[in-house]
Amino acid sequence: RFDNTLTTSLTFTLTRSSSKNGSLLGGEARVDNDTKEWSLTPKLTYRFSRNLDGALEGKFTNRENMLIKSTQKTREISIWVELKF
């Protein structure tokens, strides 16, 4: 007897970070870091039977450096299968 189960999930994350450096005696503060990043992670998990599971997961990330106007894009795909004896 097969007992199939499909589970899905979707995660979205958005972060922004910045830092400034300045003198305690006054003067202008200088921006050292200003980045924003978002990531989207969809996941499918499938149980074929009590002895066989599998999953497909992706992660899509963009990280933008606001100081130098550059974007780093990362794309990941993971596939796994688990056999239980």
The total of other beta-carbon atoms located within 10 Å of residue 76's CB is 11
Per-residue pLDDT of the chain (85 residues; tens, 9 = 90+): 667 899 999 999 999 999 888 766 777 778 888 999 999 999 999 998 888 999 999 999 999 999 899 999 999 999 999 999 8
> What CA–CA distance (Å, rounded) separates 46 from 80?
10
Per DSSP bridges, beta strands 70-83 and 5-23 are unpaired
> What CA–CA distance (Å, rounded) separates 1 from 62?
44
- In terms of Cα–Cα distance, which of 45, 28, 57 is closest to 82? 45
- In terms of Cα–Cα distance, which of 50, 46, 16 is closest to 33? 16
pTM, two decimals, is 0.74
